[in-house]
């Protein structure tokens, strides 16, 4: 499942390739993606490519003679991929769910398991996540302390909630707790100020490094060029049970926490 760094990677790679291109047509091939009103996309220009939480955000200009801009949110879920192919669109045909024909190429939405979604929105505000994005300026140690205040939940599942911080999934939640030297089982409301600061710094650092390496590839994630991410080489605890902790050499442990695997070092995460 792509997390924030993978989605950011896709958005950063798509942006210079599709920005400013005019849409020739939208073709939705999968009936699951046809629910709701059909957007009239032809003639609009791509004016923005970014990320909203765990979704890719694409903004389109108003059509000629109208004042109705449009935004598309693409949720990749498990196996969704956005691929841009320059020129007369070849690209993969298999599992192709939708495509947007542009002036100089084609943007393909490919999804083996068909869990991904396309949402069409009339306003930029409607596309914003309600929770705090950990890479946004709004994410400060003070804000994190406010969000954590009083919570009786354990750290790792708390990081996975999408109504406090948005974009973290199972891989990065384990990595962030390790980078912050905090036990994934710590009650979030019990974190002291220096620990909140460590957690804040670790969250930013882990996400930024993952983005530098184009995300993590385990099974399905590929970026907008169809290339695997490389951050899996830098993971310090995730999927490394019984191997030595890179910080203190104690063996990394795997425990099930709310039906999900948690990887951590019992020696140096307190």
Chain positions contacting Zn ion, by CB under 5 A: 245, 247-248, 250, 265, 267-268
C-beta of 40 vs 243, nearer to Zn ion: 243
Least CB distance to Zn ion at residue 247 (A): 4
C-beta of 69 vs 266, nearer to Zn ion: 266
State how far the Cα of 99 lies from the Cα of 82, in Å rounded to an integer: 9
Q: Catalytic residue among 2, 5, 39, 129, which?
A: 2
State how far the Cα of 37 lies from the Cα of 150, in Å rounded to an integer: 42
Q: Catalytic residue among 143, 204, 225, 260, which?
A: 260
Nearest Cα residue to 63 out of 48, 45, 49: 45
C-beta of 22 vs 247, nearer to Zn ion: 247
DSSP readout, 20-83? TPBEEEEEE--GGGG-SPPP--TT-BEEEEEEETTEEEEEEPPPTT----EEEEEE-TTTEEEE
Tell me the HSE value of 203 on the side-chain side, using a 13 A CA sphere. 27
Q: Which two tokens stand for residue 74?
A: 């693409």
Least CB distance to Zn ion at residue 263 (A): 11
Least CB distance to Zn ion at residue 194 (A): 19
Least CB distance to Zn ion at residue 178 (A): 8
Question: Is 194 one of the catalytic residues?
Answer: no
Question: Is 3 one of the catalytic residues?
Answer: yes
Least CB distance to Zn ion at residue 240 (A): 11
Q: Which two tokens stand for residue 50?
A: 């970014």
Residues whose CB is less than 8 angstroms from the CB of residue 79 and which lie 6 or more positions away in sequence, other chains included? 111, 112, 113, 115, 116, 220
Q: Catalytic residue among 44, 54, 97, 186, which?
A: 54
Question: Is 156 one of the catalytic residues?
Answer: no
What 3-state class would DSSP assign to 118?
strand
CA 104 centroid distance within chain: 27
C-beta of 187 vs 247, nearer to Zn ion: 247
| Contact of 23 with 36, CB cutoff 8 Å | no
C-beta of 98 vs 199, nearer to Zn ion: 199
- List active site positions: 2-3, 54, 260
């Amino acid at each position: 499942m792509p997390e924030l760094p993978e989605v950011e990677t896709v958005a950063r790679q798509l942006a210079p390739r599709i920005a400013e291109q005019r849409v020739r047509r939208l073709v939705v091939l999968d009936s699951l993606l046809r629910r709701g009103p059909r957007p009239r996309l032809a003639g609009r220009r791509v004016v923005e490519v970014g990320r909203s939480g765990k979704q890719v955000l694409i903004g389109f200009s108003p059509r000629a003679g109208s004042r109705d801009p449009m935004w598309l949110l693409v949720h990749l879920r498990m196996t969704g991929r956005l691929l841009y192919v320059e020129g007369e669109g070849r690209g993969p045909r298999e599992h192709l769910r939708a495509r947007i024909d542009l002036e100089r190429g084609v943007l393909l939405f490919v999804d083996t398991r068909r869990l991904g979604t396309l949402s069409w929105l009339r306003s930029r505000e409607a596309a914003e996540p309600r929770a705090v994005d950990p890479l946004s300026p709004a994410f400060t140690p003070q804000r994190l302390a406010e969000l954590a205040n009083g919570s009786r939940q354990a750290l790792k599942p708390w990081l996975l909630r999408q109504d406090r911080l948005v974009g973290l999934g199972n891989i990065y939640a384990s990595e962030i707790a390790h980078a912050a030297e905090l036990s994934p089982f710590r009650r979030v409301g019990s974190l002291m100020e220096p620990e909140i600061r460590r957690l804040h710094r670790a969250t930013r650092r882990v996400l930024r490094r993952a983005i530098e390496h184009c995300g993590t590839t385990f099974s399905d994630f590929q970026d907008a060029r169809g290339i695997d991410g490389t951050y899996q080489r830098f993971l310090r605890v995730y999927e490394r049970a019984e191997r030595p902790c890179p910080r203190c050499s104690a063996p990394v442990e795997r425990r099930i926490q709310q039906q999900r695997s948690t990887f951590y070092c019992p020696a140096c995460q307190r």
